[in-house]
């Protein structure tokens, strides 16, 4: 990643007939940066992505790549390429022909096409699949081909619309790791859309958290997690307990920022253990307190210390404060 701005979304607005859409979106993406648009369904993240790709016309504003406006160009003329959730491979074409299709449209010579196809298959570790059809491959394999098809077009900006959401957990994790390696090795500029916060935290240089058509916060995964700017971000990224402080505000505290001791001495909050669940190297406890249900994470070596029904005292290492929504 370098300091040059590859993509700019400038005061972009896209409104649908029912009033939904996005308003006044400003976003600069640097060369070689992977930026994730993260938020719940209907927040506008896919609208932004498809507008960049040319599949949706914007209502107002501009989109530039390398300083040049692209909003009058059709999708096939834009220096972008898009990978969809549903793979979008031609079912009647072999892997080879699927990869070659876009290259033919760009009138790339036959010899160069073959070189690019071989290169693309090597990138996604799918050599030897040239003659297979999509229905002869798993979902993960099809998505690898879809990614290769986009990469060999050498787009200035690669657009990914929830590309791994249809895959099972293990394959999804492998695909994330491989995408990140390819992206950093080739220094590709990527806009990635997901509703999965874990995926966003794992992949991104920066995350754009969205809600109801506007941007709530932009920052690195660490900034978003450690310094959530709004109550929405605090509740959407990671686990968070919200406790009324009696003044119209809410104290927010992450489960890992709560220390628990047996008994009712020296605690700012007291409670009773309701559940204890083992989650690998740590335990999750839920506690009934005078402020409501509280979730706490503790080290697994403390597993034998707490049982259902124990009286406990809680202290907070770090808190946030927000107005009640």
Per-residue pLDDT of the chain (325 residues; tens, 9 = 90+): 678 999 999 999 999 988 889 999 999 999 999 999 999 988 999 999 999 999 999 999 999 999 999 999 999 899 999 988 777 888 999 999 999 998 988 889 999 999 999 999 988 888 989 999 999 998 888 888 988 999 898 899 999 999 888 788 888 888 888 889 889 988 999 999 999 999 999 999 999 999 999 999 999 999 999 999 999 999 999 999 999 987 888 999 999 999 999 887 788 999 999 998 888 788 899 999 999 999 999 888 777 788 899 999 999 999 999 988 6
Domain stop point among 196, 215, 232: 232
Contact, 180 vs 147, CB < 8 A? no
CATH code assigned at 93: 3.40.50.300
Partners of 7 in the β-ladder: 29, 65
Quote the domain boundaries for residue 263.
241-323
Do 209 and 249 lie in one domain? The reply is no
Do 263 and 210 lie in one domain? The reply is no
- pLDDT value of position 1: 64
Residue 96, C-beta contacts closer than 8 angstroms, at least 6 positions apart: 117, 130, 131
Do 147 and 288 lie in one domain? The reply is no
Do 61 and 82 lie in one domain? The reply is yes
Q: What is the pLDDT of residues 2-39, one digit of tens each?
A: 789 999 999 999 999 888 899 999 999 999 999 999 99
Do 112 and 245 lie in one domain? The reply is no
Do 84 and 177 lie in one domain? The reply is yes
Count up the domains in the chain and report the number.
2
Domain stop point among 206, 232, 258: 232
Q: Order across the sheet with 282-289: list the strands.
A: 258-262, 311-316, 269-279, 282-289, 292-299
Do 72 and 194 lie in one domain? The reply is yes
Do 190 and 319 lie in one domain? The reply is no
CATH code assigned at 282: 2.40.50.140
Alpha helix (H) residue ranges in the chain: 45-53, 95-105, 110-123, 139-151, 169-186, 197-203, 221-226, 231-236
Do 187 and 300 lie in one domain? The reply is no
Domain stop point among 232, 258, 290: 232
Do 41 and 155 lie in one domain? The reply is yes
Helices 110-123/139-151 angle, 10° precision: 130
Do 200 and 58 lie in one domain? The reply is yes
pTM score? 0.89
Do 227 and 267 lie in one domain? The reply is no
Q: What is the pLDDT of residues 184-240, one digit of tens each?
A: 988 999 999 999 999 999 999 999 999 999 999 999 999 999 999 999 999 999 999
């Amino acid at each position: 990643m370098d300091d040059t701005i590859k993509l700019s979304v400038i005061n972009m607005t896209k409104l649908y007939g029912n009033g939904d859409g996005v308003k006044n979106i400003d976003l600069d993406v640097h060369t070689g940066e992977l930026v994730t648009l993260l938020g719940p369904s209907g927040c506008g993240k896919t609208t932004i992505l498809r507008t960049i790709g040319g599949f949706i016309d914007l209502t107002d504003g501009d989109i530039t790549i390398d300083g040049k406006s692209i909003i009058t160009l059709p999708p096939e003329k834009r220096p972008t390429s898009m990978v969809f959730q549903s793979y979008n491979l031609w079912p009647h074409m072999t892997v080879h022909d699927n990869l070659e299709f876009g290259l033919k449209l760009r009138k790339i010579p036959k010899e160069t096409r073959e070189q690019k196809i071989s290169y693309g298959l090597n990138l996604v570790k799918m050599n030897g699949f040239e003659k297979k059809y999509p229905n002869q491959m798993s979902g993960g394999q099809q998505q690898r081909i879809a990614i290769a098809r986009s990469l060999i077009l050498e787009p200035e900006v690669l657009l990914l619309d929830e590309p791994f959401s249809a895959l099972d957990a293990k394959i999804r994790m492998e695909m994330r790791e491989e995408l990140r390696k390819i992206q950093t090795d080739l220094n590709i500029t990527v806009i990635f859309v997901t509703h999965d916060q874990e995926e966003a935290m794992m992949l991104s240089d920066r995350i754009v958290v969205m809600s109801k058509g506007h941007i709530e916060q932009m920052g690195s995964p660490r900034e978003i997690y450690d310094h959530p700017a709004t109550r929405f971000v605090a509740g959407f990224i990671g686990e968070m307990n919200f406790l009324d402080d009696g003044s119209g505000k809410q104290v927010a505290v992450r489960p890992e920022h709560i220390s628990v001791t047996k008994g009712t001495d020296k605690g700012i909050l007291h409670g009773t253990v309701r559940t204890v669940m083992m989650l690998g190297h740590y335990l999750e406890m839920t506690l009934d307190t005078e402020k409501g249900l509280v979730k706490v994470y503790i080290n697994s070596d403390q597993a034998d210390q707490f049982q259902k029904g124990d009286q406990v005292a809680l202290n907070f290492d770090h808190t946030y404060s927000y107005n009640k929504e």
